[in-house]
Amino acid sequence: MKGSDSLEQTMREENTTNSLPIFTIGNPDRFDERSYRERCVTRLIEILFDLENYMGAGRIFIP
């Protein structure tokens, strides 16, 4: 949280139970690895199929 217009501050102020989550790749340096990309995509699909349980979660790190 580095300022009033940071993503973290916006999430704290604006997030509600009806807000979609923000997805963040946990280790972007590994995104060039095929197995890591596959894990990210698999986790994202799992979340999207069960999205109602993640509403209002704020930020979700994948994988």
Collapse the DSSP code of 48 into the 3-class scheme (helix H, G, I; strand E, B; otherwise coil) and give the result: helix
Q: Is residue 21 part of a domain?
A: yes
Q: Is residue 28 part of a domain?
A: yes
Q: Is residue 15 part of a domain?
A: yes
Which pLDDT score, from 0 to 100, does residue 13 have? 92
- Note every long-range contact of 37-42, with CB atoms under 8 Å and residues 24 or more positions apart, other chains counting: 39/63
Q: Is residue 2 part of a domain?
A: no
Regarding pTM above 0.85, the answer is no
Number of structural domains, the chain?
1
The mean pLDDT value of the chain amounts to: 93
Please give the residue range of the domain that contains residue 46.
7-62
Which pLDDT score, from 0 to 100, does residue 4 have? 78
Stretch among 3-12, 17-26, 45-54 having the lowest mean pLDDT = 3-12
Determine how β-strand 22-25 pairs with β-strand 59-62. parallel
pLDDT digits (tens, 9 = 90+) for 5-15: 898 899 999 99
Q: Is residue 1 part of a domain?
A: no
